[in-house]
Structure 1
Amino acid sequence: MNEQPVSQKRLLCIFSMIVNSLTFLFGVIGNGLVIFITGFRMKKTVNTIWFLNLAVADFTFTFFLPLNIVHLALNFHWPFGEAMCKFCSTMVLVNLHASVYFLMIISVDCCISVRCPVWSRNHRTLRLASFVALGVWILALALSSPNLQFRKTMRTGDVVWCYREFSSDMEQAKILHRAMVISQFILTFAAPFSVITVCYGVIVLQLRRDRLTPSSKPFKVITAVIVAFFICWFPYHVFSFLKVQAHEDPSLYPILTAGALLSSGLAFVNSCLNPILYIFMGRGIRQRLKCSILSIFENAFSEVSQSTKQEKIIDVGHHEMNISRLETFPPTP
């Protein structure tokens, strides 16, 4: 990282600070509204449980972004101490995993509702949904807990770094780093992407067979879901694998610094997209723009709760688009 020109690195930091600031603003306000509406203004349903928990994950993630903004403003200096280094990065990982898996659960739930409507009506209960939501948070906490061990701070002159140290032994550190990158790729990209793709493939086939989709809009939404998932996650994982390779080739560090910041910015932006999608990807956008903010969100969630198979794919499917967020916080120098 030290080999990268100072001016270029500073420009990248400024750009990331702007992106993080906008993401924080829209993410906190938008997801806060979703939490308020699904938690206090709407009747409790299975769908509102999914979207309430998803919004909590997104809200918590964006809530900690100001610490990363300060971190970038101070040129990667971490002034908040080792405890906050461990806590903040772990909280972001917890909510990263929770967000990914709630999006996956939504796609599975949509698939079951379309493929097995009778079973869904009999077994899709609030109690079961609450237990599933609790299980997702426990799983997210378990998958993120190793970060408490690996995250440390180190002082170099006047700069304190918040970084991951896998082991004091270089060879063992390489092995652990590689294992973590591979496991995160499988657990937060390959597996969820496969599940979402299969679920929506099943939905498309079922709806085509039942001739419930006279327009092409549902298929465009499904395509957008899958493409958005890939575009948002793939760059981050590419640079994660490059970090492993950088142990053998230090010349990659300047590229990794720029790539990590840019791919992180793409990931951060997605944490505030869901509320925007609730407004602009539903039906009757012109009528919605004339409504109040609360009415817009209430109508959006009400549409998701409607019972026909076609509405499930149109109104539930598009919410899968927000699928990417950064895996480490703050970005590893």
Structure 2
Amino acid sequence: MASCLSTYNQSAIKQTNQTFQTPPLNYLTISLHGLFSSIGILENLLIIGVVGFHVRRSIISIWILNLAASDLLATSFLPFFTLYMARGNTWTLGATFCRIYSSVFFLNMFVSGFLLAAISLDRCLVVLRPVWAQNYRNIQLVSRICAVIWALAVICTIPFYIFRDTIPLHSGQILCYYNYVLHPPREPYDQKALCKQRKEALVFTKLFLAFIIPLLIIIISYTNVNLTLARRGCRRPFRFVRLVMAVVVSFILCWAPYHLFIVIEVMAPSTHSVQTVVMKGLPVVASIGYFNSVLNPILYVFSCPDLCSKIRHSLGAVMESVLTEDLAELARRCSTARSSISSTNIVSKHKNSITTQCLKTEEEVFDMNFASSTQA
């Protein structure tokens, strides 16, 4: 199968496979991936469940729900990446699922970048244009923006879905990787030039749309917020500065290594020794990119005291409701048991009280008639 992988690439991949077969690194990688996946799934499920169903709908909750949905999607597919690495970088789940799994990774990459940039712009507009934000910033507008972000992310992901394929190697491995000669043009073409053009197009699309442009928007937005607050003489709380620094640093640390490695893979000659380092490091930096889906809930939810208190209050209300229902059910069962044991006494007492109740009722009726006649 033609796939644009040179002989040197295949030998580098084979060396990478041998490296990952060593038990310590293999076990460590599987353990870290399992930990990331478990924490990410639990965090994002918690956010979606509590913020989506137990917190009043607001603009910030819309942002966080969409971010949590993207991160949950990514962390849910992380076990398949772990399986891929545990089997020596060999894909055994078929070509179709290879495209789906890879597309989810890239979809999360674009959605996360777009959403983080949009959240930064939203906070910037609230500070710089408070009157406009008061008049036009609402839940409906933010929901439409999130829908547009998802649509744009799906469009950006389509090329990565099209050119993803399973590639068998001479060593017996099956890669889930790019196959740039899929869907060739109808006119005669140079395969090497075609592969180079498509490879560069996809790499720099990811680099600019998913990393550089969102990062610039985040930095510029928070810089303007900081300068505007300083010009107005407002005191910037340490929590705000810490959150901004954490967002920027985590975004850079999680995604910069991945984009750096794919740029080196494109720019370096295929016979250069750096290609071996790239092939060994790509699975590692991709795992670091997945880790951003674990950090996002911590940064954007648990660092917000108001929302965090709402989550704790909502969880407490849910647990209180569950416990109340359980206690009520227990009390009902105990009452039923007691009533069944003393049913004979209750029946006898009920019979004795019939006469008294009737006499009491007659006295009440008499008193009512007497009062009405007195008023007349």
Where on the TM-score scale, by shorter chain, does this alignment land: which range?
0.7 to 0.9
CA-CA distance at 1:19 after TM superposition: 1.9
Q: Name the SS for the 1:43 alignment partner.
A: coil
Distance 1:68 1:164, change over 3 A: same
The Cα of 1:292 is off from its aligned counterpart by 8.5
1:255, distance to aligned residue in structure 2 (A): 0.7
- Does the aligned pair in 1 maintain the 2:247–2:299 contact within 8 Å? no
Confirm or deny: 8 A CA contact 2:219 2:248 kept in the other structure.
yes
Contact 2:54 2:314 in 1 (8 A): no
2: CA distance, partners of 1:54 / 1:289 = 17
Provide the C-alpha distance between the structure 2 equivalents of 1:161 and 1:8, rounded to a whole number of angstroms.
14
Which residue, 11, 15, 19 being the options, matches 1:3? Answer: 15
- Could you tell me which residue of structure 2 aligns to residue 41 of structure 1? 54
Which structure exhibits the higher relative contact order, with contacts defined as CA atoms closer than 8 Å and separated by 6 or more residues? 1
Partners of 2:122 and 2:292 lie apart in 1 by 22
Contact 1:16–1:265 (CA under 8 A) maintained in structure 2: no
- 2:126 maps to 113
After superposing the two structures, state which structure 1 stretch, 154-163 or 196-205, moved more: 154-163
The change in CA–CA distance for 1:246 and 1:8 in structure 2 (over 3 A counts) is: farther
Label 1:189 to 1:278 Cα distance change in 2 as closer, same or farther (>3 A): closer
2:91 partner SS:
coil
Residue 296 of structure 2 is aligned to residue 274 of structure 1? yes
Gapped regions of structure 1 (runs ≥ 5): 296-333
CA distance in 2, matches of 1:182, 1:125: 35
Contact 1:13–1:261 under 8 Å retained in 2: no
Aligned partner of 2:241 in structure 1 is: 219
Q: How big is the shift at 1:72?
A: 1.0
CA distance in 2, matches of 1:46, 1:218: 18
Residue of structure 2 equivalent to 1:153: 166
Distance in 1 (CA, whole Å) between partners of 2:75 and 2:166 is: 23
C-alpha spacing 1:215/1:126, structure 2 compared with 1 (3 Å): closer
CA contact 2:218–2:248 (8 Å) conserved in 1: yes
Q: Which residue of 2 aligns with 1:258?
A: 280
2:14 partner SS: coil
Larger mean Cα displacement after TM superposition, 88-97 or 185-194: 88-97
Give the superposition deviation at 1:183.
1.8
The range that moved more, 238-247 or 110-119, is 238-247
TM-score normalized by the length of structure 1:
0.80
Query: Which residue number in structure 2 is paired with residue 162 of structure 1?
Result: 176
Cα drift, residue 14 of structure 1: 3.4
State whether structure 2 residue 254 is matched by structure 1 residue 232: yes
Q: Compared with structure 1, are the counterparts of its residues 218 and 262 closer, same or farther at alpha carbon in structure 2 (3 Å cutoff)? A: same
Query: For structure 1, which segment, 54-63 or 161-170, has the greater mean C-alpha deviation from structure 2 after superposition?
Result: 161-170
TM-aligned CA deviation for residue 188 of structure 1: 0.9
* Aligned residue among 21, 42, 56 for 2:69: 56
Residue pair 2:113, 2:210 contacting (<8 A) in 1 also: yes
2:28 is the alignment partner of 1:15: yes
> Which moved further from structure 2: 244-253 or 185-194?
244-253
Q: Deviations over 1:68-122 (max 9, x none)?
A: 1111111111111111011111122112211211111111111111111111011
Question: How many residues in Structure 1 have an aligned counterpart in Structure 2?
Answer: 296
Question: How far, CA to CA, are the matches of 2:82 and 2:99 in structure 1?
Answer: 17
Moved more, 149-158 or 58-67: 149-158
Cα-Cα RMSD: 2.8
After superposition, give the CA deviation of every residue in 1:260-308 in whole Å (9 maximum; x if it has no partner).
Answer: 1322222122211133335653449xx999989668xxxxxxxxxxxxx
AA aligned to 1:165 is: N
For residue 145 of structure 1, give the secondary structure of its aligned residue in structure 2: helix
Q: Pairwise mapping of residues 1-333 of structure 1 onto structure 2 (< 5 A)? A: 1-4=13-16, 6-7=18-19, 10=22, 11-156=24-169, 158-167=172-181, 169-213=191-235, 215-277=237-299, 281-283=303-305
3-state SS of paired residue (2:168): strand
Compared with structure 1, are the counterparts of its residues 66 and 86 closer, same or farther at alpha carbon in structure 2 (3 Å cutoff)? Answer: same
- What one-letter code is carried by the residue in structure 1 that aligns with 2:60? N
How far 1:171 sits from its partner (Å)? 2.1
Gaps of 5+ in 2: 1-12, 183-190, 318-376
- Tell me whether 208-217 or 26-35 shows the greater mean CA deviation: 208-217
Q: Using a 3 Å threshold, how does the CA distance of structure 1 residues 129 and 279 change in structure 2: closer, same or farther?
A: closer
Deviation larger for 267-276 or 183-192 = 267-276
**29-38 vs 269-278, greater mean Cα deviation:** 269-278
Q: State percent identity of aligned pairs.
A: 28
CA contact (8 A) 1:196 1:226 kept: yes
User: 2:44–2:69: 8 Å Cα contact kept in structure 1?
Assistant: yes
1:46 Cα offset (Å):
1.2
TM-score with structure 2 length normalisation?
0.72
AA in 2 matched with 1:257: M
1:2 deviates by 2.1
